[in-house]
Amino acid sequence: MQNKPKLKFWQIWNMSFGFLGIQFGWGLQLANMSPIYKYLGADEASLPYLWLAGPMTGLLVQPIVGAMSDRTWTRLGRRRPFFLAGAIVASISLILMPNSSALWMAAGLLWVLDASINITMEPFRAFVADNLPEEQRTLGFVMQSFFIGIGQTLANALPFVLTAVGVVGVMASGIPYSTLIAFSVGGVIFLIAVLWTVFTSHEYPPEDMEAFNKKKAEGNVISSVTKEIFEAVKDMPKTMKQLAVVQFFTWFALPCMWQYYALTVGKVAFGAVDEIKTPAEFQQGNEWAGLMFATYNVVCFLVAFGIPWLAANLSRKLVHAICLSVGGLGLISTLFATNPYFLIIGMAGVGIAWASILAMPYVMLAGAIKPERMGVYMGVFNMFIVIPQVVQIFLVPELFNRILGGNSLNVVVLGGVSMIIAALAVLIVDDVGAKKLEGTEATA
């Protein structure tokens, strides 16, 4: 096995910097797509269906990109060509999104945007595991959490800030000009941040170039990749299976928040009825919700670098369980948010959970899989993120009027309950990577 030297802080910073741009794009999408859909005439109960692009493109794209990047080696390395290609298409899609004139156009652009973001993002996870030794991987993934927090914070707050400095008015579709400018800025930042990582970082070549070239030359690429993905699923380590349970309940919870939190804030804190009867209150609620999303991302990057210390002094599992519990309680606390400022407390809890969600499962996973299959397993692991989102997308519309009372607030609370279940599930995970570091298990 290739002995990887420890990297300096700024080297890890550079290799993670592209995540700032990726998450600027995600942040704009997560905080603004439900309001954009509503402006274009979407039915509230059916909103989850319009979010299907994210999990489906993740399910289809990430395992394939992960396996393909495992068998790629160019002048730009193994993962960086995918960073670059995805960033170019994602940036264009972001700029086009708020110019949508019809619901079908926005929904179609979201499929293109999410596919290209997934192409960019999936190799970033493997990139950290490729370049860092085991003892630095927690720092590497936490650095990504740090940039995710910054990127999403800026993206979430930008429409609110633009309105505060005097950007007013709406387009013919009803979409505010503040949203239009925010998405355009996001497209530029996305591309610049990814280019920074592409041109300031390096990658290690395959350890056995002869075996790599032989693998690369095997038959049809698509069939070989598909076979490799199925083999990876068949040979999945026990730790990965256990983490799948945690990820299911975690990622069932998050879309409940992303899809319905902005609509909930308008109703519970500002008295909005909908985008037609109370347009001013509706926009105010949307922008305040964006500010609350910014709050949880501020908390995310503030606590991100404390997580490695806590994990070293407690355990990875315990830290993740505590963080998820705090996040779940934060979402449930929305029940009591008669004052918009009270929402800050709940979103701070979500931020603590978010910092851990973006790092700890990947740290535990990376210690349990073979380095030569890092890309494909990181891609397969994404299935445990997208499958619960698909379940949520088809289940919530069925429950919305029958069980959840047609109330977006109840969807947010459902997400909180699911996150607490995820916290309990962490306790079953066997963190073999931590055992290796402690010397209780022989290093593979």
Among 170-174, 181-185, 241-245, which is the least confidently predicted range? Answer: 170-174
Average model confidence (pLDDT) across the chain: 85
Q: What is the pLDDT of residues 347-376, one digit of tens each?
A: 999 999 998 998 888 888 877 777 667 767
Assign 176 to helix, strand or coil.
strand
Percent of the chain past pLDDT 90, that is, above it, reads 36
Class of residue 263 by CB neighbours under 10 A (exposed 0-12, middle 13-18, buried 19+): buried
Q: What is the mean pLDDT of residues 194-207?
A: 83
pLDDT value for 222? 63
Among 63-77, 82-96, 153-167, 256-270, which is the least confidently predicted range? Answer: 63-77
pLDDT of residue 221 exceeding 90: no
Q: What is the mean pLDDT of residues 311-337?
A: 91
pLDDT value for 332? 96
| pTM for the whole structure | 0.74
Which span out of 75-89, 180-194, 228-242 was modeled with the highest average pLDDT? 180-194
pLDDT value for 442? 41
pLDDT value for 444? 35
Q: What is the mean pLDDT of residues 235-258?
A: 92
Q: What whole-number distance in Å separates Cα of residue 320 and Cα of residue 434?
A: 14
Among 32-41, 87-96, 136-145, which is the least confidently predicted range? Answer: 136-145
Q: What is the pLDDT of residues 92-113, one digit of tens each?
A: 999 999 999 899 999 999 999 9
Residue from 434, 67, 39, 27 nearest 239 by CA: 434
pLDDT value for 211? 62
pLDDT of residue 395 exceeding 70: yes
Q: Give the angle 143-144-145 at the CA atoms, nearest 5°.
A: 90
Residue 170 bridge partners (DSSP): 176
Among 155-159, 387-391, 428-432, which is the least confidently predicted range? Answer: 428-432
Which span out of 133-137, 281-285, 413-417 was modeled with the highest average pLDDT? 413-417
| CATH code, 9-206+220-438 | 1.20.1250.20
Which span out of 2-16, 151-165, 205-219 was modeled with the highest average pLDDT? 151-165
Contact 316, 239 (CB under 8 A): no
pLDDT of residue 208 exceeding 60: no
CA of residue 207 relative to chain centroid, distance: 30
Q: What is the end-to-end Cα distance of the chain in Å, rounded?
A: 9
> What own/partner pairs with CB < 8 Å and gap ≥ 24 does 219-225 have?
221/68, 221/71, 224/71, 225/64, 225/67, 225/68, 225/71
Angle at which helices 53-70 and 80-96 pack, to 10 degrees? Answer: 160
- How many other C-beta atoms can be found within 10 angstroms of the C-beta atom of residue 279? 16
pLDDT band at 168 (very low <50, low <70, confident <90, very high): confident
Q: What is the mean pLDDT of residues 201-227?
A: 67
Residue from 196, 203, 14, 22 nearest 120 by CA: 22
Q: What whole-number distance in Å separates Cα of residue 27 and Cα of residue 147?
A: 12
